Amino acid sequence: MGNQGFSGKSVLVTGAAGGIGRAAALAFAREGARVAVVDVDGKGGEETVALIAQAGGEAFFFKADVSQSAQVEAMVGAVVERYGRLDCAFNNAGIEIEHLPLAESDEATFDRVMSVNVKGVWLCMKHEIRQMLKQGGGAIVNTASVAGLVGAPGMPIYAASKHAVVGMTKTASAEYGKAGIRVNSVCPGIIRTPMLERALEREPRREKSILKAHPIGRLGEAEEIANAAVWLCSDAASFVTGHQLAVDGGLTSI
């Protein structure tokens, strides 16, 4: 495994059945962490656990819908029961299901996106912070987006949800900093994930404009976001809190 910077630490990763979440779960395990892999997708979640085990790491899967309070509470309880504490949490679960301008958006989409992307992150932080207060500290990273920093034409509800994540991140960091709890967000640019691949299958023409939006000239990889989340949770980032780390190939710089 890696340099064992997280040796003995327990880490919770939501949305870990694939994409950024799976890459992060694997990255934390490489650093020596014991990982709780959480997702609504049981098959994908168990695959992530198997990949960690194959690489010599330790992990278990917990099925939970982050928009349901009782399931989130049970999720945190399961980590503490198994590992004794919760050192780090990467609240990464999120959905992106709209491709319409604001006036054409529908209420069902609004409710679904807000339920997972905003309520889900709020519930996760609520229960994680309660545990971290009991044990004397911890680190939390939320997956926001460049759509939490700038506008996202065609995705107004998603942009609103990710701006909300940024707002909660900043506020929680101010509320719990003195308690030894750091709260940051990572703001990915457009990352090559199964979610993106599906979108490009629907609209292949989008790929050219997506590439053009990144001054670095390519899409991001899930591992690059994972590395940022690992760093934000690590002791190397001990004076970093309330920060929104754009990992976006320069997208927000132009």
Contact 38, 16 (CB under 8 A): yes
The Cα 156–Cα 101 span in angstroms is 7
Decide if 158 is catalytic: yes
* Phi–psi pair at 100, nearest 5 degrees: -140, 150
Point out the catalytic residue in the list 61, 158, 176, 245: 158
Contact 38, 93 (CB under 8 A): yes
Catalytic residues: 158
